Every structure is written in C-alpha cells, then in structure tokens.
Amino acid sequence: MAAPNALQRMERSHYSPPWANTSIIGVAGSSGSGKTSLALAIIKQMSLPWVVILSMDSFYRPLTPDQIAAANRNEYDFDSPDAIDFDVLVERLKDIKEGKKAEIPVYSFEKHSRLDKTTTIYSPHVLILEGIFALHDPRVLDLLDLRIFCEADGDLCLSRRLVRDIKERGRDIEGCIKQWFAFVKPNFHKFVEPQRNVADIIVPRGIENKVAIDMVADRIHKTLDMKSAEHQSELKRLGKEAKDLPLSPNVAVLDGPSQITGINTLLSGPETTREDFVFYFDRLAALLVERATENADFDAVTVETPPPRSHSYNGLRMSGEVSAVVILRGGSILETGLRRVIPDCRTGRMLIQTSPRTGEPELHYFKMAGDVSTHNKVLLLDPQMSSGGAALMAVRVLLDHGVEESRIVFVTYIAGKRGLNRLMTVFPDIHVVACRIVDDYEERWVENRYMGC
C-alpha cells in the first residue's frame, strides 16, 4: 500500500497575520479631561497607519422609556459604570485582539438608544480605547497593553464638558450644570479617580505634556517592531517547513494540450509584442477561471427548449454565487478572463503591499460583498505568487469575514513552489489553480509586461 502524501501527514501549520494580537491602549480620565485630544496627539506622534480610536460612548446601554424620560430631564446617570455595556465591549475587544472583524454599535445621544447600523473595525495594529471607565473593568484591563490616565483641573473639565454638550449634543447650560453636580463630580471621586492606581502612565496637562506623548509613542513603536520581527520569523519558519514538501492535491496545474505550452512560450519570449501578450494572457486567464469554478456546486434543472422543436433538456445550474476578490494591483489583469467566464461576477478588492521599512506584507485596503460568507466559491485573483506572504494575508482576511476555507480558490498564473507550499500548509483546505509552478523568484514580470510598465 502506498505511503500517504507527506503533506497530508503534516499537522496544519499555525500562522498569525500582522494585525493579530493588536496592541490596545486604554486612556481613562474625567469627563472633559482631554482624553480624545491626547489619543489624537499620540496617533500624530506615532505617524503610523492602522491606528484606530474606539470611544466607550459607543457602548452606552439602550434606555427604557422611563430612563429616556429621566435623561431628557437631565436626571439619568450616564457617568456611572452601570451605564456602560461592558459585556459587549469586552467581546468586541477580544475580537479585535484576535485579529477578527468587530462590529461596533452606534449610539445616539439624541434618542438615547443604539441605532440599527454598526461600524466595522478590522485589522488595526494599534487600538486606543478612550472613555471615563477605560481602566475600570478587570476584563478590559487584562486586554490592555498600556494603561494611561489623563489628568486635568476640575474647572477646565467642566468648561470643556459644557462646550461639548451644548454644541454637539444640543443640551442647555442649566441641564449640563445639573448633571455635573448631581452625577459627574461625585462619580469622578467614586469611580474615575481610583483608576489612577492601575494606570501605567499618568499624564497631567493632556496634549501639552509632550514628554509623556513621546514616551507613549516610543513604547508603541518598540512593541510594533518586536511584533514585525516575530511575523517575519514566522514566515521564514513556514518557508523552511514547506521547502521539500510535495504539492498538495488541492493544487491544480493548468495543463493538457500543447496549445497551452505554446501560449506559455509566447508569453515568456522577449520578442512577443505587448498586444499579443495581452491577447494570449487573457485566453489563459479565462481557462484558469473555468478550472477554478468547475468544482462549484450545481443543482439539477430541466429546461424546455424553444419551438418549433421543443423538448426537455436535463442540465445543471450553478447553486449559489461565485464572487472574486482582486489582489491589487496585479490581480486586475485577470479580470478580463473572469468576465468572459462569469460576466456578472461581483468583485472585491484588496491592496497588499510590502513595507519598505520591515519587508513584510501589509494590508492597506479591502472591500468585498457584505454577504461574501454565503457565496459558493470566492476566487482570489493574483497573477504571481512568490513568497506567499500576500496570499496568506488575503486568505486570512476572507476567513475573518466568514468565508469557509474550502470555498476559497486562489487563482494565479505563476507561483513559486516554496511560497505555494507555505500557503497550503497553513490553509490546507483551500484550492489553488495555477498555470505554471516554478522555483522561487521575486520579480513580478507578468503584471509589468501586461500593463506596459
């Protein structure tokens, strides 16, 4: 009996994207102490992408009719921990920490309730949680990498709160002062001020404290550099593990008639004109998409052919939807072939680029169908795969948005064997359709030739 495939004997390899284990910073302090301004100053000093501010205001509990009536009389206590839905907050922070997509509620201070819509947070490298109780709940504290308490003079806090509530929340000055002395000030001493004892850094004078802002930014930079080094080390480890493995049975190579070899010969030849290159590449792209969709689910259906010679035809109709996600910018050259096979295919976009600072792939942009998790097949389009880093990241994004691994098909013209094996050891249930598999290479010549660069 033949020995089982070596790849099938391997356990699934672990891979964490760069945004997993998100660094979460908590910024607490009195109402009007300048927490938001401090968070924005920290972001500006860091000068980094993928930093998100999450306000605890989004997690106020919806009020009952009686509570809404009390709130309209300025008699409801919004400055007590009981007003915050910490259970939902903790769940969302856990999702973000684990690199998952998190749906954040939207709270209306005019209606004193949550709106039907949500906002999405996904793949930040740093998240700043700001709110008067950011350091209050022990479950939240366990998720924080840095705890900051923002300190300010009480009179300054009152003046800032008055300006905010009158301008932004449509309240009158009498009601604001009533709330301040009835709830805000006593709750500060009871609940807010004790958070100083668990803070790593206490920042007086807010954005005027340049030294503290520099310290925080430097700490975050060092943490991100450490995580970047760990991610690169993980990619190298995966490469070593996958170096000598045979190809997965889920990898399909476009072979068959010598016509395909002839087209590959034309595409490789330096004398081929750009017009011929585009024409023949589009032919192969259509064949790749056809191969990628041949294992989609189909339902049996009977149709009646039109007169005058009507008869029944027992055929098949695709069950569910096939969509595609283009990995920019190279993946766009596969779209002509995609449209020839599936003219009405819904198409999303991802922009994944290598950082010149760290050398690792970074997710800059993504947009896809909201119901992508229900689709029959989701094609990932990228004409070339070398190290597999961008492919790993792209598949991870789809999984984080609910797409089943077995429904993902990575479609590429040419792939380096090590990068391909690296991808398949981490995600063994996906499928790959390629035209050529070669030894490792780096230059992305296909898209450059196609686009006339």
Instruction: Give percent above pLDDT 70 in the chain.
Output: 89
Percent of the chain clearing pLDDT 90 (strictly above): 30
Q: CA–CA separation, 159 vs 144, rounded Å?
A: 30
Q: How far apart are CA 131 and CA 30, in angstroms?
A: 9
- The domain spans of the chain are 23-229, 247-450
| pTM, two decimal places | 0.73
pLDDT for position 359: 62
Half-sphere exposure of 287 (CA within 13 A, CB side): 18
**Is residue 236 scored above 90 in pLDDT?**
no
Average pLDDT of span 390-410: 91
Which residues, 6+ apart, have CB-to-CB distance to 315 below 8 Å? 300, 301, 302, 303
CA 432, distance to chain mean position in Å, is 22
Q: What pLDDT does residue 230 have?
A: 78
Distance CA(325)–CA(310), nearest Å, equals 40
Closest CA to 224 of 359, 125, 356, 129: 125
Find the range with the poorest average confidence among 38-42, 312-316, 438-442: 438-442
pLDDT value of position 451: 60
Structure confidence by residue, pLDDT tens digits, 368-384: 888 999 999 999 999 98
Question: How does residue 198 score in pLDDT terms, banded at 50, 70 and 90?
Answer: very high
pLDDT tens-digit profile of 262-295? 888 888 888 888 888 889 899 999 999 999 988 7
* Structure-derived torsion over alpha carbons of residues 195, 196, 197, 201, reported in degrees to the nearest 10: 120
Lowest mean pLDDT among 52-61, 108-117, 157-166: 157-166
Q: What is the mean pLDDT of residues 226-252?
A: 78
Q: What confidence tens digit (pLDDT) does each residue in 71-83 have?
A: 878 778 888 899 9
Q: How many CB atoms lie within 10 A of CB 203?
A: 27
- How do residues 288-343 score in pLDDT, each as one tens digit? 999 998 877 788 888 888 887 778 888 888 788 899 999 987 888 999 999 999 99
Residue 196: is it exposed, middle or buried by C-beta count within 10 angstroms (0-12/13-18/19+)? middle
For the domain made up of 247-450, give the CATH fold: Rossmann fold (3.40.50)
Parallel/antiparallel/unpaired status of strands 322-328 and 347-354: parallel
Instruction: Identify the band that residue 194 occupies on the pLDDT scale cut at 50, 70 and 90.
Output: very high
Per residue, the 3-state secondary structure of 26-62, as one string, reads EEEECCCCCHHHHHHHHHHHHCCCCEEEEEHHHHECC
Average pLDDT, the chain: 83
pLDDT at site 166: 73
Report d(CA 245, CA 411) in Å as an integer: 21
Tell me, which fold does domain 23-229 have in CATH?
Rossmann fold (3.40.50)
Distance CA 63, CA 29 (A): 24
User: Half-sphere exposure of 101 toward its Cβ, with a 13 Å CA cutoff?
Assistant: 15
Q: What is the pLDDT averaged over residues 334-363?
A: 84
Q: Which pair of tokens denotes residue 256?
A: 């068959």
Q: Is the pLDDT of residue 7 over 50?
A: no
